[in-house]
Amino acid sequence: MLRTILTVICLVTMSLSFAINCLAEEAIKEKNPEVGDTVELEDGLKYTLLKTGNGEVCKSGQVLKVHYTGTLEDGTKFDSSLDRKQPLEVTIGAGDVIKGWDKGIPGMKVGEKRKLVIPSALAYGEKGIGVIPPNSTLIFEVELLEIKQ
């Protein structure tokens, strides 16, 4: 009987230890994703690391220079700074861009490239805008080129 109880306690302890380690690894991965890793935030925004950066980490309130391409879920391109051959300069976290950018770009390093999958609630919502239909999930590939001082 005592042996059975000790065996059960050991198994429960090992299971809890394994679960805690898995959660810790996920938390580390979210803060330090590797190329190809996808992180989903609580509001439904997802980002995938496409290329690592080696520079400074950007924060809300900073002026950034980025290249980007925006597409709909069906692959239709609706905008691209690359096509214009001119990066976008934007203050991130100031409400100058859609909420999905304000939430998905902070934490990027200079040189990093991410794919943001932005639910409509963090983009243009029920109204849409221009060629972007209402309730559209938007996909952006964003490369952080520079943090302006």
Active site residue 79: yes
Query: How many whole angstroms separate alpha carbon 149 and alpha carbon 55?
Result: 14
> In sequence order, what E strands does the chain have?
38-40, 46-51, 63-72, 77-80, 88-91, 113-118, 138-148
Does pLDDT of 18 surpass 50? no
Q: Which of 118, 132, 140, 147 is catalytic?
A: 140
Contacts of 86-93 with C-beta under 8 Å, sequence gap 24+, read: 87/145, 87/146, 89/63, 89/64, 89/65, 89/148, 90/63, 90/64, 90/66, 91/61, 91/62, 91/63, 91/64, 92/58, 92/59, 92/60, 92/61, 92/62, 92/63, 92/64, 93/59, 93/60, 93/61, 93/62
pLDDT of residue 54: 94
Does pLDDT of 120 surpass 90? yes
Please list, residue by residue across 50-75, b when 16 or more beta carbons sit within 10 angstroms of its beta carbon and e when fewer do: eeebeeeebeeebebbbbbbbbeeee
- What pTM value is reported for the model? 0.78
The structure tokens listed for 40 are 């989903």
Active site residue 124: yes
Q: Which of 102, 105, 124, 139 is catalytic?
A: 124
Of 3.30.565.10, 3.40.50.170, 3.10.50.40, 1.10.1040.10, the CATH number of 34-148 is 3.10.50.40
The predicted model gives 7-32 an average pLDDT of 46
Active site residue 98: yes
Give the domain ranges of the chain. 1-32, 34-148
Tens digits of residue pLDDT in 47-81: 999 999 999 999 999 999 999 999 999 999 999 99
| C-beta of residue 55 within 8 angstroms of C-beta of residue 109 | yes
Active site residue 78: yes
* Residue with more model confidence, 83 or 26: 83
Half-sphere exposure of 130 (CA within 13 A, CB side): 6
Q: Which of 92, 98, 105, 118 is catalytic?
A: 98
Active site residue 47: no
